[in-house]
Amino acid sequence: MKICICDKNLPKISKEQLEDFGFLLIETKELENFHSPLGTHPDIQVCKIKENLLVVEPSVYSYYNNLLSKYGIIIKSGEKIVEDIYPKDCLYNLASNGEIAIHNFEITEENILNEIDFEKVHVNQGYGKCNVLFTKSGVITSDNGIYKALGDRRKLLIETGDIDLDGYDYGFIGGASGYSDAVYFIGNIQNHKDFHKIETFLKEEDTQYEILGDFKLKDFGSLIFLEI
């Protein structure tokens, strides 16, 4: 089974296309007392550690546990409640592909740290998941600090911006996408100023990409894919 955790406010066309690709959609629940558009973003309230393991913000633990535990996915609750101010809004915003974890580990929720038994890459960026798109064998980011911290791993640095994010000047590539059997972009990646660099990077590892809606690329807090 293929599952996608997505922002409840994701455009209808994007949801329909994901369903057409065979994904069961789990829409986010809005966080209480969180007033910015980030309150419905998956990567603010859900941290995927591995394919069958999530650590979630405590106020939404029951919600996700009821929806996902029946599929054999382990849902664990964090201790800290996120707040609508940096860096308390990105305690769960860690990027993981099950082999490396990327985050500012000075602020990472402790219950997430307890579950990571693989390599940690510390960065100054609190919005680790927002700024990271894992591909089949590499990482795409617009954050120069993350890019440098990745060392000799396969990676691509793109320009900041050219991605919409409600309430902010711009969004990030990780927040506007997700990787499963292909890279799924929320919006038309072909209109991004670094499209050709991104396309070449994906072709080199034989990765397909899909466009979920013919509009400007937009950050909805990542598409979190689970395959069980």
- Per-residue pLDDT of the chain (228 residues), as tens digits, is 999 999 999 999 999 999 999 999 999 999 988 889 999 999 999 999 999 999 999 999 999 999 999 999 999 999 999 999 999 999 999 999 999 999 999 999 999 999 999 999 999 999 999 999 999 999 999 999 999 999 999 999 999 999 999 999 999 999 999 999 999 999 999 999 999 999 999 999 999 999 999 999 999 999 999 998
Question: Using an 8 Å Cβ cutoff, are 63 and 75 in contact?
Answer: no
Q: How many CB atoms lie within 10 A of CB 148?
A: 11
Query: Distance of CA 16 to CAs 37, 129, 176, 191, 205, Å?
Result: 22, 24, 17, 22, 28
Question: Using an 8 Å Cβ cutoff, are 180 and 2 in contact?
Answer: yes
Two structure tokens written together for 199: 């396309």
pTM of the model: 0.97
